Amino acid sequence: MRGLFPRFFLTFWIASTLIAAAFAIIETWAIPPERVAHQHNLVIVALELEVAAILKEVTAGRPEHAQALLRELREETDVSIYLFRPDGTVVAPKAPPPSVRALAERVRESGTAVEMRQAAELHGFMIPESDTVAVGRILRTPAWARALGADTLTLRILVIGIISGFVSFLLARVLTRPLGSLRRATQRIRDGDLSVRVASEIDSANDEIAELGRDFDSMAERVEELLLAQQRLLRDVSHELNSPLARLRLALELARNKVRDGEDATKLLDRIEREAQRLGALVSEILTLNRLEHGGLPEVVPVDLRALVEDVVRDADFEGEPGGARVSLQSVEAITLDGDEEILRRAIENVVRNAVRHTDAGEIVVSLEAGDPVTVRVRDHGPGVPEDALTAIFEPMRRVEPDRARKTGGAGLGLAIAKRAVELHGGTITAENAEGGGLVVAIVLPRRVADKQETS
């Protein structure tokens, strides 16, 4: 049997039918002993109080009144009374069973009261001043079972089956419908439709299936973001590679013409070298980002963070253009944390060089805040970033300025590499606009990253 729906349906149907049948049997036959004793007393009381009045109605020629009294007594006390007349007629709600007839014969033969408390709860005696024998019988079935009667067993089973089948169908449908929505959604994703979402269809209750739907939507959104980012990265990388390649081809052609004409081609050769270096740097950054995206930390060792930041600041300040921005480090105490020194250096260096690139003049301040976690802040005096782009600047190939060829240059990979490097160390990197202009980039790093590395 394939599919969850038929299995759920049959399981619920069979289980509910069996439970209903078991309760019916228990209610019918499992009468507690105290109830049986109580009913036996009712037999004796009913015989003593009611039989004479019933027999009087029979003797007066009103058997229908006697039958009415017997039925009323039966409904009120769960006791059936049978009157056996000397002429062989029987006054009773229904034909007496063999055990009742046998007890009546024993009473008639002995002339004394007889009780039977084994197979059936019976009490019989000879009515005074009459040859009529009265036998009282405890009814061992409840009122609802007597109302249905044994002759309606097939109808009862049919009704139970229909009701339980309807309830089981609804229950199985409720359980399997969300799974069907999830299955159709996965098929649409397989066919390339990444916009599909299922939470709105199955989020009818706060249960595990609804949580699964929300997790599915989160997964679909993440997959869509990654694929769009990959497509954007490939498009941007193609653009970044085509630009220096076009300039290389043009410079190469011009250099050939100059060499052919006997002119000096030194400047063109220098231009070719610069473009080749740009290509090499771009390819190196792409490979670095790919390595960080698909790998963990090569090794985790104690790193002297203050010494590392001092080296980065010293190199960035030394390489700065005359009259340009200066880079300084606020004095701090020694800080040591676990991590990969080269990856941490690359992250901090990319943030500092990005600040230098966007600051024409003024001072770039790098500060360290000890504690756990440790915070590295880089404050520049550049143009800042629009509020809606403070997160996007850490995505690959995302730059705020619309002109990709402006003098700040860069391929837009530096901050993306820094973000991934920080995340590998279990930290976070954020940016915010500073008061008075400029940008502040904060790198927050935990002291220990061994656990973080295992889950990266």
Catalytic residue list: 239
Structure tokens at 17: 């039918």
Q: Which of 377, 374, 398 is nearest to 386 (CA)?
A: 398
| Cβ density class 105-114: b for 16+ within 10 Å, e for less | eebeeeeeeb
Helices (H), 60-198: 63-77, 98-110, 143-148, 153-190
3-class DSSP state for residue 122? strand
Greatest CA separation for the chain: 156
Cα(78)–Cα(29) distance, rounded to whole angstroms? 14
DSSP-assigned beta bridge partners for residue 326:
363
The torsion defined by the Cα of 425, 427, 433 and 435, in degrees rounded to 10, comes to -110
Place of tokens 């085509």: 242
H/E/C letters for each residue in 404-442? CCCCCCCCCCHHHHHHHHHHHCCCEEEEEECCCCCEEEE
Structure tokens at 273: 């070298």
DSSP state of 195: T
Q: Does residue 265 contact residue 255 with C-beta atoms inside 8 Å?
A: yes
| Cβ density class 273-306: b for 16+ within 10 Å, e for less | eebeebbeebeebbebbeebeeeebeebeebebb
